Amino acid sequence: MTDAATADLLRVDLTDHTVEREPIPERWLTEYVGGKGLGARYLYDRLEPGTDPLGPDNYLLFVLGPLSGLLPGETQFAAITRSPLTGTFLDSYSGGEFANDLVAALDGALGVAVTGQSDEPVVLELDDGEAALTPAADLWGRDVVDTCDALDGTVACVGPAGENRVKYATIASDGGDHHAGRGGAGAVMGAKRLKAVVARGSPPDPAPEVATLREAYERRYRETDVGRWHAASATLETVDFADEVGVLSTRGWQEGSFDGAGDIGIEAVKEAAVDRERDEAGIVGGFRVETDAGESVPRGGTPMSLGAGLGIDDFDAVAALGKTCDRLGLDVISAGNAVAWAIRAAEEGVVDVDGSKAPVRQSESQSDSDDVDPASLGLDTDAALSFGDHDAARATIEAIATREPGVPDALADGVEAAADRLGGADLVPTIKSMEVPAYDPRGSPTMALAYATSDRGACHRRSLPAETEVFGDDWDDTDRVRVVIREQTITAALWSLIADDFAGAVLEDDLGAEWLATVDAAAPTDPAELLRIGERAWTLTRLFNVREGFDAGDETLPAAFQRPVSGGPADGRGIDTGWFDRLRQRYYAAREWDEHGVPTRGLLDRLNLLDVVDDDTPVAREPVTK
């Protein structure tokens, strides 16, 4: 057995420029483990209801797990905060060299909790357990690649989008190859004027029993369907898959398949690739390609959201758009949806490029009191923003990142906020104000339930039933609810360990129990209890959101999904609102929540949460009946 990790985390106050170690209660380590669970417990405990996500009182946590740096696949960290885009609990995950070095740099601590707001830009330097804040005014304004190149060590940072508080800005690391992407953690970091975190350290060699276990799990992973699929194509095959089965959102959610999918899919990627990512064990990751914006490692969301979603069938152009987002520090899914909304809004006459529309309310980001021209897209007036035009798409993305007045500034706050300011509601779907990933639920209805009930807003990573639903004709509503709940709960458990999304598949049988026993961690080693930890984490994030005022009314079906989709295997399908509302109530009943989506007292008692929930959080008496 090896010794358990030190039970503390670093607390950084940017207002006072102080750093101190803060012990983590032993019960938290036992009942929440690390990652998502521990971050949820910390945020629920420390954050006052109604805290401004971009204000100094919000927390931004970089959290590890008890197995970080040991598990097969990429080491990951969790960025956890209250989302400026949605107002919900937010957890985003990122891997790569920064995550790996963060383990060594923290020297046994399980994370960093950042609060306050610096008067000037700063860098947080972590080095073998020591932490220091250094001035970074010379880095402010630089993109992600330049920032990483300018610092000694592995780096997580924000680009111009985070500095300008774009509400879907990312925390980028490894020169933009990896991102804690969705929900705007980068905007929180930028608002705190924390330009970058630098990790330096020398990770110790793993104990012999840990090294042996890792080798065994790496072999097992390579033999799984997930391992073979990922070695062959990684996530970039998803555009081919989604197009084939009719769930590929195309041209702003108007169509369900894309004629150019083959031109931006896996074969195009393989032809363009110059290398593959690889970890120390040789497990392959993403494809490296050259673009006119620099070398890029596009993920599946790039060709789906910036390719099919914008009607662009040139892989080089799509990869360049992805790299533009990477350098600026923008979530590619939200950015693609934002550009798609601008195109559709122009087509519908909501906005135009000649400036003829009336002025609109300014956003909080604008310092002057004058109204702004809503139609300014930050483009030359001769440019035609339309589906298929990658040059205009890039110009719009750049204008969003720098908050050019008008449409770009409105879109920097998200599609829903832009529609509130300019009109054009329901052109592009959002759930809890988060833009929806490109898996269209009109071709996989259970995706609608997964999106609606996600704790951070529309998200396909907590549950992705489209992978299996499209191949079966015998799913009923009981199956749909069961699949979504199972996937959400298992994901919450594995993200409390912070397992690699793909190599973590080999942990699903026992949820990491064998690993936890081997390293003698504080967490339980009973698989059933680890599953309960996943349910506890999911319930606690629900309590956080309920405390912030979210309920069933925030989980209704977007109008875009009610309209019939055009083309592909799902041609003519829409989703019936009445059916979806009944399905959601079934989900609430199975979760032991009431008809408003509020967890019940009996559930909290079963999960040891009764003494955790505070007086500001509603608790239901009885669950809704099916």
Q: In this structure, what CATH number is given to the domain that contains residue 495?
A: 1.10.599.10
Is 436 domain-assigned? no
Rounded (10°) angle between helices 477-497 and 35-46: 90
| Integer Cα distance of 385 and 429 in angstroms | 20
Give me the residues of the chain with pLDDT under 50, please.
1-5, 354-376, 378, 380-382
Tell whether 277 and 193 lie within a shared domain.
no
Tell whether 531 and 573 lie within a shared domain.
yes
Q: What is the pLDDT of residue 277?
A: 83
Is 2 domain-assigned? no
Q: What is the pLDDT of residue 362?
A: 42
| Integer Cα distance of 219 and 232 in angstroms | 16
Q: What is the pLDDT of residues 327-348, one digit of tens each?
A: 999 999 999 999 999 999 999 9
Tell whether 302 and 402 lie within a shared domain.
yes
Q: What is the pLDDT of residue 471?
A: 86
Q: What is the pLDDT of residue 162?
A: 98
Tell whether 338 and 457 lie within a shared domain.
no
Q: What is the pLDDT of residue 353?
A: 52
Q: What is the pLDDT of residue 525?
A: 94
Tell whether 397 and 520 lie within a shared domain.
no
Residue identified by tokens 């420390």 is: 46
Q: What is the CATH number of the domain that holds 326?
A: 1.10.569.10
Is 124 domain-assigned? yes
Q: What is the pLDDT of residue 141?
A: 97
Is 94 domain-assigned? yes
Nearest partner of 78 among 201, 196, 180, 155, judged by Cα: 180
Is 595 domain-assigned? yes
Mode of pairing for the β-strands spanning 122-127 and 18-23: unpaired
Nearest partner of 456 among 437, 482, 478, 480, judged by Cα: 437
Phi/psi region, residue 568 (left: phi>0; alpha: psi -120 to 50; beta: rest), is: left
Beta strands (DSSP E) in 292-381 are 294-296
Q: Count structural domains, the chain.
A: 3
Enumerate the β-bridge partners of residue 345: none
Contact between residue 496 and residue 65 where contact means Cβ atoms under 8 Å apart? yes
Q: What is the pLDDT of residue 377?
A: 53
Q: What is the pLDDT of residue 356?
A: 36
Beta strands (DSSP E) in 183-240 are 194-200
Is 177 domain-assigned? yes
Beta carbons within 10 angstroms of residue 470's beta carbon: 21
Three-state secondary structure call for residue 284: strand
Residue identified by tokens 């996937």 is: 487
| Core vs surface per residue 528-566: b (16+ CB within 10 A) or e | ebbbbbbbbbbbbbbbbbbbbebebebbebbebbeeebe
The pair of structure tokens assigned to 289 is 């390609």
The pair of structure tokens assigned to 121 is 């830009």
Tell whether 45 and 193 lie within a shared domain.
yes
| Integer Cα distance of 244 and 267 in angstroms | 15
Tell whether 521 and 419 lie within a shared domain.
no
Q: What is the CATH number of the domain that holds 102?
A: 3.60.9.10
Contact between residue 548 and residue 88 where contact means Cβ atoms under 8 Å apart? yes
| Integer Cα distance of 352 and 281 in angstroms | 53
Tell whether 47 and 196 lie within a shared domain.
yes
Tell whether 196 and 240 lie within a shared domain.
no
Tell whether 427 and 301 lie within a shared domain.
yes
| Integer Cα distance of 403 and 427 in angstroms | 22
Beta carbons within 10 angstroms of residue 216's beta carbon: 13
Is 26 domain-assigned? yes
Is 217 domain-assigned? no
Distance, first Cα to last Cα, the chain: 47
Contact between residue 8 and residue 22 where contact means Cβ atoms under 8 Å apart? yes
Q: What is the pLDDT of residue 493?
A: 97
DSSP assignment of 237-262: GHHHHHHHHT-B-BTTTTBS--TTHH
Tell whether 19 and 159 lie within a shared domain.
yes
Tell whether 365 and 238 lie within a shared domain.
yes
The percentage of residues in the chain with a pLDDT greater than 90, rounded to a whole number, is 81
Domain boundary among 200, 223, 248: 200
Alpha carbon separation from 412 to 168, 334, 599 (Å, rounded): 8, 10, 33
**pTM metric for this prediction:** 0.94
Query: Residue 82's domain spans which residues?
Result: 8-200
Domain boundary among 431, 466, 482: 431
